[in-house]
Amino acid sequence: MNTTPADRHPLFSRRNLFGATAAGLAASSLAACATSGSDEDAQEVTVGDDAENPFGVDGKAPLDVVIFDGGFGNEYAVAHQALYNEAFPDAKIESLATQAIAETQQPRFAEGKPADVLDNSGAQQIPMDSLVSDGELAELTPLLDAPSYDDPEMTVRDTLREGVLEAGTFNGKVYALNYVFNAWTIWYDAKLFRDQGWTPPTTWEEMMALCPTIKAAGIAPWTYAGQHPVYLYDMFLMLAGRHGGVQVLKDIDNLKEGAWSNASVVAAAEAMYSLGESGFLLEGSAGIDHIQSQTSFNNNEAAFLPCGSWLPNEQAAIAPEGFEYMPMGVPYLEGSVQPGLISAGGDEPFVVPKNATNLAGAYEYLRIMLSKEGSQIFADAVQAATVVKGVELENEAAKTTDALAANPEDMFQPKFRYWYTKMNDEVRPALGQLINAEATPEDFIARMQAVADETAADDTIEKFTHDE
């Protein structure tokens, strides 16, 4: 298949993950990962009767924490580690903040010496389907069933917002605590829109009618991170899901035969194609990264940017004076049956490796993160909500994002790119080519249906499903 500037070449494929080295991430069999430890070697942590130390943490045992130093930074994690040391002052915490998650952590999994807590996020995220399928992660039921940090009469599970565990659940078992309550939205500068007298569109028809007006003002209607077209993933799928209802997206995730040929999916592909075909993309968007696209957005070179709710915090230090980040839902297509559907829920997956040296400490660290104080620390530091109920937000953009996801029935996180690495690797360049009008909607649908069918037919790939 020919590639174009809109393609993103993935760093990893499903079968070359855990033989990677820090120097070169050389490929080897994924099966090597399975030999890094065994069920006999792994610890087992249960919930005890001591509400203040339910996992029986050894207060002198060191703790190894790895944080993805991306849009949310590392400030909140430093504060969380201070809370852990308040409870266990003799525990030495070794902490690494990095964007090179796979490069630094895959060798440790292969050696059977992983971190105790890993924030498995970012462009170098280790694919969750591989970690789960190869038995590399501890199941988090003990954490969820433990008494909450603030009220022993409530479990940790009871303190969480509805639906936020789904993203880390694989066939009924929770393997990741997705700590951040994130929503994928379309961002615009509210000040620019006020100054220009533009009304943010709610429907796709309104958006397509506004784009020529924006362009006439010398501003490109849209940009995106062309080197990382996965930023288009939720936008595309919400177009389809809003039009046909959430079941359309569940069918895709569940590898239902013909799911990509659904009329709503086709309509979404046609809508995305129309942006490039109409010349509504900032010139050169296909070749830029997320930093460049966000900089262009900040400079009012483009009016709309698809991104997650971390955007204002990530740009806080460099945003122009007066710039007002404001989110909106994906404009919905005519005839949409679920126009409020939004890709929102738990994000930023924290995992506990099965072979962690301090498994009890890892669970306790996450329990502290999920305390009222731990959650508010995060909200204050980055102006984004955690998955814990009752976090107070001050920033207007953060409040608006939260309001967009206020109805649990309209919250849904598409999963196939997390469940199936092969499909994730395919959808990224396919979306890039689609929005740049380098591939027709028909070609896009055929391409994605083909890889879905290949995935469904491959008995070596573990299958995951949504609960109906």
pLDDT tops 80 at residue 22 = no
pLDDT tops 70 at residue 61 = yes
d(CA 139, CA 173): 7
What pLDDT is recorded for position 23?
33
Q: What is the mean pLDDT of residues 296-317?
A: 92
Q: Where are the alpha helices (DSSP H) in 254-370?
A: 263-277, 290-298, 311-314, 359-369
User: pLDDT band at residue 398, thresholds of 50, 70 and 90?
Assistant: confident
User: pLDDT band at residue 31, thresholds of 50, 70 and 90?
Assistant: very low
The domain covering 38-182+345-402 belongs, at the CATH homologous superfamily level, to: Periplasmic binding protein-like II (3.40.190.10)
Q: Please, what is the average pLDDT of the chain?
A: 90
* Tens digit of each residue's pLDDT (9 = 90 or more) over 120-148: 998 899 999 999 999 999 999 999 999 99
- Tokens coding 355: 């072979």
pLDDT tops 70 at residue 25 = no
pLDDT tops 50 at residue 17 = no
Helix H or strand E segment including 45? none
pLDDT tops 50 at residue 116 = yes
Q: What is the mean pLDDT of residues 60-76?
A: 95
Q: Which phi and psi angles does 263 have, rounded to 5°?
A: -60, -35
- Greater confidence, 34 or 382? 382
DSSP letter at 28?
-
Q: How far is CA 292 from CA 224, 426, 429, in A?
A: 9, 23, 18
pLDDT tops 90 at residue 88 = yes
pLDDT tops 70 at residue 361 = yes
The domain covering 183-344+420-457 belongs, at the CATH homologous superfamily level, to: Periplasmic binding protein-like II (3.40.190.10)
Predicted TM-score (pTM) of the model is 0.81
Q: What is the mean pLDDT of residues 345-352?
A: 94
pLDDT tops 80 at residue 8 = no
Q: What is the mean pLDDT of residues 90-108?
A: 97
What pLDDT is recorded for position 468?
59
The distance between the two most distant Cα atoms of the chain, rounded to a whole number of Å, is 67
d(CA 297, CA 305): 7
- Can you state the angle between helices 75-87 and 359-369, rounded to 10 degrees? 120
d(CA 130, CA 418): 10
- Specify the range with the lowest mean pLDDT, choosing from 9-13, 57-61, 379-383, 392-396: 9-13
User: pLDDT band at residue 466, thresholds of 50, 70 and 90?
Assistant: confident
Helix H or strand E segment including 460? none
What pLDDT is recorded for position 45?
87
All CATH 3.40.190.10 domain ranges in the chain, comma separated: 38-182+345-402, 183-344+420-457
- Can you state the angle between helices 441-457 and 263-277, rounded to 10 degrees? 130
pLDDT tops 70 at residue 97 = yes
pLDDT tops 70 at residue 33 = no
* Tens digit of each residue's pLDDT (9 = 90 or more) over 223-257: 999 999 999 999 999 999 999 999 999 999 999 99
* Tens digit of each residue's pLDDT (9 = 90 or more) over 167-226: 899 999 999 999 999 899 999 999 999 999 999 999 999 999 999 999 999 999 999 999
What pLDDT is recorded for position 253?
97
What pLDDT is recorded for position 316?
83
3-state secondary structure (DSSP) of residue 83: helix
Q: What is the 3-state secondary structure (H, E, C) of 76-111?
A: HHHHHHHHHHHHCCCCCEEEEEECCHHHHHHHHHHH
Q: What is the mean pLDDT of residues 368-388?
A: 93
Q: Which phi and psi angles does 128 have, rounded to 5°?
A: -65, -35
**Could you tell me if 302 and 219 are in contact, meaning their C-beta atoms sit under 8 angstroms apart?**
yes
Q: Which phi and psi angles does 13 have, rounded to 5°?
A: -115, 170
What pLDDT is recorded for position 42?
57
* Tens digit of each residue's pLDDT (9 = 90 or more) over 403-455: 899 898 999 999 999 899 999 999 999 999 999 999 999 999 999 999 999 99
In percent, how much of the chain has pLDDT > 90? 79
What pLDDT is recorded for position 41?
52
Give the type of residue at 42: A
State the DSSP string of 190-239. Answer: HHHHHHHTPPPPSBHHHHHHHHHHHHHTT-EEE---TT-GGGGHHHHHHH
